[in-house]
Chain A
Amino acid sequence: MPTSTGSDRTEDLAEAVREAAEARRPLAIKGLGSKAFYGRSIRGTELDVSGHAGVIDYEPSELVITARAGTPLADIEALLAERSQMLAFEPPDLGDGGSLGGMVASGLAGPRRPFAGAVRDFVLGVRVLDGRGQALRFGGTVFKNVAGFDAFRLMAGALGCLGVLLEVSLRVSPRPEHEVSLAFEEDWKASRARLAEIWGAPTPLSGAFHDGERLHLRFSGAETAVRRTAERLGGDPSPPSHWEDVRHMRLPIFRAPRLWRLSLPRTGEPAPLPGEQAIDWAGSQRWLSTAAPAETIRDAARAAGGHASLFCGAQPGEEVFEPLPAPLFALHRRVKRALDPAGVFNPGRMYEGL
């Protein structure tokens, strides 16, 4: 069984949570810190999970890997690559490399997301510390499992507000046999029409990104399906490395000091917004570098059937995520209280008062 460096720090972490809960002292959970900018800024005693690391089990024929939350994502991906497997949702590496726990907590996914699924679709189970410092196991290591509420899926994208992730079991995927990348020099309007046509047929599309001047498409899967689709569509060859730049947010637009992320229905087209834009996920995810007021951007996203979040560059105290309707926010607070009664886990990181 493969192991990577690291050790089991469950007891230390549990003790720290119990002490914090008793004193009602907020904790700021930290993995490798690569996404510290993401979400609202909070104050709290740092709870460093990075020492709680190591791959616990990896069985390629089961398509599942289980590792401690502090394990560097790069270690996991290297291990999977040795067996021609991968994380199909393509989590981004934002800088010096993140941890498994941070990946799940942020819920961020790369260009393959609309075609392969979100982080939550691949989380099979977690071991998590609740707000009383108890280690709880939700889900497991098998794909089909409906025993108990799916509290493990709830941890994906919860920004650490519901518990301290200790271990995560992920479903992994075989690497596609073939992959082809194409580029089309055209505006987004032309690309929209092209994508609408592709979308209706069973094509092996695995990436659709428009950088403002060009549409980049990626196709993955069995050889004939990929080759025939590419032949039919024409276009120019595009370097596969482009997708790494999209995935890990290394293109110039991602260096914007204040970057918005719009999450929209694929068929929804927002009113034009000022600033520089890149469009991923075939139109469902848009990155916008702009100094326009937050309300203008949120209104445009809402009108198109989606929502906007201030991915980076928020001022202290500024809301990052779309505000929730009052009944839904009240339910969020009750859900948080169910797992974190003393309110110690990352309070305010997602919303003020949560």
Chain B
Amino acid sequence: MLGVFDETLDAAFPVYDRESLIARLKAALPDDGLLAAPEALRVYECDGLAAYRAVPAFVALPRTSEEVRGVLLACRDLKVPVVARGAGTGLSGGALPFPGCVLLSLSRMDKILKLDPQARTARVQPGVRNLAISEAAEPHGLFYAPDPSSQAACSLGGNIAENAGGVHCLKYGLTVNNIAALEIVTLDGEVMELGGEALDTPGFDLMALMTGSEGLLGVVTEATVRLLPRPACAKALLAAFADVRHAGEAVARLIAAGIVPAGLEMMDQLAIQAAETYCQAGYPTDAKAILICELDGEQADIAHELLTVAAHFREAGAYDVRVSRDEAERLRFWAGRKAAFPAMGRLAPDYYCMDGTIPRGRLADVLEEIGRLSAEHHLPVANVFHAGDGNLHPLILYDAAREGQLERSEALGGAILELCVAAGGTITGEHGVGREKINQMCVQFSDAELAAFAALKAAFDPAGLLNPGKAVPTLARCAEFGAMHVHRGGLRFAHLDRL
């Protein structure tokens, strides 16, 4: 059971003296900076992956890098595991506490320290909300490009920990491509600046290594992000297909033709119908798949490119292609896509959101296979995803109150992740491994590769106290997982051509 920290499979959980820890944490933090009351701790028992819950021993709420440093040194000296947490919107259980650990919440470090429109950068604290950066940049005609769907709530520190993406990353890149510098504090209390405002820094690119490291290497206490000028104009196009295969073909044609849209999203029939019921976006509910394609730039260029896109989509088999006539219609096209997750809430009491990436050319094959797995596990799956970069978000619908459904959803989810690996992709495109996908790391990586990750972690955190049991499985866990995992007499998904 992944919700439970397992000493034999994750890491030895150190025994420490609670009173000594309280004394050290109180010394490091302001009066209101330490939570220990059970009802206060309960708030922090899970992140956006609510299926797994545990109450931490303490919650530390620092406001400065120095306070973070004090907490980390206390934890190092007394050998207490530390789990860093941003806004708690993560979907892979990366900020899931384990009993006995200190949860380090960065939510009070939420200031934009400096915004320099000339340099097009902003220096911010990790708890600042993603959208707050773009809001602060707006008067200067600038924005911060990565836009995960939780951007109104999620924090930049969490975005860095997960290397978050969003709907526009095909054109504008991931978090790692949009940050310039990080201030980090290591478990040993060293404060270091990685990266800088110049376009490169001497030495190894440790800023890139920190990005996406899921709180295992250090704690980000400040970041410099790059801002981009807002495009002059944006338009969206909605295309309906009678066959998912045709929609996949349309995506490949577009990219091969040299068009890099600002966004390119696909929804399958179940997702289309759910979204339409929820918010009446005007989607064609008879379509097996729709594509939403957004282009931005100069108005005349977009008008020209839209014609090209529409022609490619029609050649690939689109039976209905609509271009947004005005801003209201563009937003309506997106409304259904953005409401896809809450819309699922109307179809089932619970849903489980997956996050694999596959080569674009395998879209149709993988969707068909997901359909087969869905039938096999007796749970419906709706597909909503970033088609432009092959990042799938299959949503498994289930009811946790019904016997066996949670377990079945976990099994189906695991099978979908392994399918993504077999198709030449990865188990996670933007949500992170966290606790959720820790077993599937054993499928994607060899023991030697996992040992290299463990060695890199040890270079930053030799005692292994930063977010143990997440992101990188122990070899003991993989041995156990491999033994349990029946490969049905051979390689799973052997019928798919491997790349």
Contact = CB atoms under 8 A, between A and B. Distances in A.
Contact of B212 (A121, A150, A268, A331): A150
A263 B301 contact: no
Contacts of A350: 203
Contacts of B253: 61
Interface centre among B177, B192, B459 (most CB of A within 10 A): B459
Contacts of A143: 169-170, 174, 357, 389-390
B429 A331 contact: no
Contacts of A331: 186, 190, 192, 206, 459-460
Interface in B130-168: 140-141, 162-163, 165
A263 B453 CA distance: 31
A201 B229 contact: yes
A117 B178 CA distance: 10
Contacts of A134: 448
A182 B311 CA distance: 34
Contact of A149 (B192, B390, B456): B456
A201 B200 CA distance: 24
Contact of A263 (B163, B173, B199, B299): B199
B426 interface: yes
Interface string A53-91: 000010111111000000000000000000111000000
A339 B255 contact: no
B444 A147 contact: yes
B116 A267 contact: yes
B452 interface: yes
B358 interface: yes
Interface in B384-409: 386, 389-391
Interface in B413-461: 424-433, 437, 441, 444-446, 448-449, 452-453, 455-460
A316 B493 CA distance: 56
Contacts of A114: 199
B373 interface: no
B211 interface: yes
Nearest to A154: B209
Nearest to A307: B202
Contacts of B300: 224
A142 B448 contact: no
B256 interface: yes
Interface string B357-370: 11111000000000
Nearest to A125: B426
Interface in A196-241: 196, 199-203, 221-225, 228
Contacts of B359: 59, 62, 64, 141-142
B273 interface: no
A62 B361 contact: yes
A129 B129 CA distance: 40
A284 B198 contact: yes
A130 B452 contact: yes
Contacts of A228: 298
A134 B450 CA distance: 12
Given A144-B386, A146-B163, A334-B459, A62 B176 contact: no
Contact of A174 (B229, B259, B432): B259
In this complex, the interface size class of chain A, counting residues with CB under 8 Å from chain B, is 35 or more
B449 A136 contact: yes
B197 A305 contact: yes
A134 B445 CA distance: 13
A264 interface: yes
B43 interface: no
A306 B196 contact: yes
Interface stretch (B25-33, B54-62, B117-125, B237-245): B117-125
Interface string A117-151: 11011000000001000101110111111111111
B260 interface: yes
A289 interface: no
B52 to A, nearest CB: 19
A328 interface: yes
B258 A150 contact: no
A265 B206 CA distance: 19
A291 interface: no
B304 A222 contact: yes
B231 to A, nearest CB: 5
A321 B389 contact: no
Contacts of A223: 301, 304
B433 A338 contact: no
B201 interface: yes
A91 to B, nearest CB: 14
B452 A136 contact: yes
A309 interface: yes
Interface centre among B117, B173, B202 (most CB of A within 10 A): B202
Contact of A148 (B173, B258, B360, B445): B445
Nearest to A333: B459
Contact of A61 (B252, B460, B471): B252
Interface string B473-493: 000000000000000000000
A134 B101 CA distance: 36
Contact of A321 (B203, B431, B471): B203
Contacts of A85: 258
A149 B232 CA distance: 37
Given A107-B200, A142-B425, 9 more contacts: A143-B174, A143-B390, A144-B426, A162-B204, A221-B297, A223-B304, A224-B300, A224-B301, A307-B202
Q: Which 4 A-B pairs have the closest CB atoms?
A: A174-B258, A222-B301, A265-B197, A144-B429
26 contacts: A61-B255, A61-B361, A62-B255, A62-B359, A121-B173, A142-B425, A143-B169, A145-B426, A146-B432, A146-B433, A148-B433, A149-B472, A150-B213, A151-B456, A154-B204, A161-B204, A196-B118, A202-B229, A222-B298, A223-B304, A224-B300, A328-B192, A328-B206, A331-B459, A331-B460, A334-B460
